[in-house]
């Protein structure tokens, strides 16, 4: 089997993490790097063995000269769509950081362009293939909880509407692995204790697009005869409730839990459908994380990112989509924007939505308000500006 030739477009935090995984994997070779900042190119190039001649500042030059099989696009969210479209034009498989893009019209264009070029899209939502998720999926496939009937997911305490697009993307992707696709969503979004109004529709931090709601709660109806709840509730501080970052799968005969926070990371199985503290009904049994045979724990590659690469290699070898495909990524956008749509219009939203524009932008327009006022891109500055707006500064 030939190795896949990989280019990394964007060499800061996430680009470095992804490059480490592709560098460590025996079936992928990093053949080029691209960034606007020379220092980042040189630091990462030295670490993963990409020579100066293959370090690019111009992505078109890189694509023309190197013709990689896979291009990883770990850049700010507002750049996902334009850069994905530019790279797809060259007929390369891509993986984009999460979430796929900012609205459904963009998602449709990305999927259509990939289909036209005959290439694959993956979204870097590595949690779905992480070592503990593999353990939970294996336990479920072995029938250890019977039939899945309900799935609970929580974010890690970011401002709800932003958390939905940031951590909610990962959590929804995890939930889809057990429930299948989502047929309908109902959402409630509150800010400062009241139901959101047009003034609470905001430009989100970190290029996330338009968001709303300090506390967002969603009810999900899955294809596989299950329902679910997704919580994205703001806790004091900025993302200070990372221990809340939990997936729980309820079955007819047992339950599975995975916590993805660094402090209490792990997975557990309860051989009873109902949890009661203490006694046999509180007896959660730990599950061992699963790794690919060739994963070296001494390598700097994060195991979830390594699994993500392993899954892309298997998918391309087998001529199929990645478990975290562009189609899944678009469906997750449909769920997240459906939650916003349900929250502002006060009704259940069936998926996929016929209208592909951003529901919060549409709603503000219908309410006679223009586009939301610009907010700081930096997360901490954004929180400060929002607290000031709410009179809390």
Ligand X SMILES: NC(=O)c1ccc[n+]([C@@H]2O[C@H](COP(=O)([O-])OP(=O)(O)OC[C@H]3O[C@@H](n4cnc5c(N)ncnc54)[C@H](O)[C@@H]3O)[C@@H](O)[C@H]2O)c1
| Residues near ligand X, by CB under 6 A | 9-15, 34-37, 40, 59, 74-77, 79, 83, 97-98, 124, 126
Residue (of 41, 88, 29, 39) closest to 60 by Cα position:
88
d(CA 212, CA 341): 10
Minimum CB distance to ligand X smaller for 104 or for 123: 123
Q: Minimum distance from CB of 275 to ligand X (Å)?
A: 29
Q: Minimum distance from CB of 23 to ligand X (Å)?
A: 16
What are 120's two structure tokens?
């694959």
Query: Under a CB-based contact definition with an 8 Å cutoff, are residues 29 and 3 in contact?
Result: yes
Minimum CB distance to ligand X smaller for 113 or for 170: 170
Helix or strand run (H / E) with residue 44: helix 38-48
Minimum CB distance to ligand X smaller for 11 or for 249: 11
What are 169's two structure tokens?
């993307």
Q: Minimum distance from CB of 219 to ligand X (Å)?
A: 25
Minimum CB distance to ligand X smaller for 84 or for 349: 84
Query: Could you tell me which residues come within 8 angstroms of residue 42 by beta carbon, excluding any fewer than 6 positions away?
Result: 52, 55
Three-state SS string over 271-308 comes to: CCCCCCCCCHHHCCEECCCCCCCCCCCCCCCCHHHHHH
Minimum CB distance to ligand X smaller for 2 or for 13: 13
Q: Minimum distance from CB of 99 to ligand X (Å)?
A: 7
Minimum CB distance to ligand X smaller for 140 or for 232: 232
Q: Minimum distance from CB of 5 to ligand X (Å)?
A: 18
Minimum CB distance to ligand X smaller for 35 or for 310: 35
d(CA 69, CA 5): 5
Query: Under a CB-based contact definition with an 8 Å cutoff, are residues 34 and 62 in contact?
Result: yes
Minimum CB distance to ligand X smaller for 44 or for 111: 44
Rounded to 5°, angle at Cα 372 from 343 and 169: 50
Q: Minimum distance from CB of 82 to ligand X (Å)?
A: 8
Closest CB to ligand X: residue number: 10
Query: Could you tell me which residues come within 8 angstroms of residue 364 by beta carbon, excluding any fewer than 6 positions away?
Result: 198, 201, 370, 371, 372
Q: Minimum distance from CB of 98 to ligand X (Å)?
A: 5
Minimum CB distance to ligand X smaller for 167 or for 226: 167
Residue (of 246, 167, 176, 172) closest to 211 by Cα position:
167
Helix or strand run (H / E) with residue 185: strand 182-191
d(CA 325, CA 331): 10
Minimum CB distance to ligand X smaller for 17 or for 384: 17
d(CA 249, CA 152): 7
Q: Minimum distance from CB of 169 to ligand X (Å)?
A: 8
Q: Minimum distance from CB of 171 to ligand X (Å)?
A: 12
C-alpha separations of 175 from 45, 129, 171, 258, 299 in Å: 36, 12, 6, 11, 29
Q: Minimum distance from CB of 9 to ligand X (Å)?
A: 6
């Amino acid at each position: 089997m030939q190795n896949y030739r990989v280019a990394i477009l964007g060499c800061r935090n996430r680009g470095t993490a992804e490059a480490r995984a592709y560098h460590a994997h025996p079936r992928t070779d990093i053949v080029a790097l691209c960034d606007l900042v020379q220092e980042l190119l040189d630091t990462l190039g030295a670490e993963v063995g990409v020579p100066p001649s293959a370090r690019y500042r111009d992505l078109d030059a890189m694509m023309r000269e190197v013709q990689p099989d896979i291009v990883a696009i770990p850049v700010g969210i507002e750049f996902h769509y334009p850069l994905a479209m530019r790279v797809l034009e060259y007929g390369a498989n891509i993986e984009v950081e999460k979430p796929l893009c900012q609205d459904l019209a963009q998602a449709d264009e990305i999927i259509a362009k990939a289909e036209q070029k005959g290439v694959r899209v993956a979204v870097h939502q590595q949690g779905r293939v992480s070592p503990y998720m593999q353990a939970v999926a294996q336990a479920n496939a072995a029938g250890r909880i019977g039939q899945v009937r309900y799935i609970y997911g929580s974010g890690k305490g970011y401002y709800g509407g932003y958390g939905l697009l940031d951590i909610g993307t990962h959590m929804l992707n995890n939930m889809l692995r057990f429930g299948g696709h989502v047929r309908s969503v109902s959402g409630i979004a509150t800010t400062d204790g009241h139901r959101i109004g047009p003034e609470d529709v905001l430009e989100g931090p970190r290029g996330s697009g338009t968001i709303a709601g300090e506390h967002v709660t969603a009810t999900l109806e899955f294809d596989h005869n299950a329902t679910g709840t997704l919580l994205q509730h703001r806790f004091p501080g900025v993302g200070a409730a990372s221990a809340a970052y939990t997936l729980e799968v309820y079955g007819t005969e047992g339950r599975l839990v995975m916590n993805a926070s660094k402090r209490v990371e792990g997975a557990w199985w309860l051989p009873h459908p109902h949890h009661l503290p203490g006694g046999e009904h509180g007896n959660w049994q730990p599950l061992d994380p699963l790794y690919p045979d060739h994963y070296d724990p001494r390598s700097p590659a994060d195991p979830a990112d390594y699994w993500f690469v392993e899954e892309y290699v298997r998918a391309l070898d087998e001529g199929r989509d990645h478990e975290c495909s562009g189609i899944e990524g678009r469906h997750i956008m449909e769920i997240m924007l459906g939650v916003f749509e349900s929250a502002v219009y006060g009704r259940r939203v069936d998926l996929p939505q016929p209208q592909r524009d951003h529901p919060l932008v549409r709603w503000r327009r219908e309410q006679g308000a223009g586009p939301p006022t610009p907010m700081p891109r930096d997360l901490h500055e954004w929180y400060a500006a929002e607290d000031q707006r709410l009179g809390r500064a």
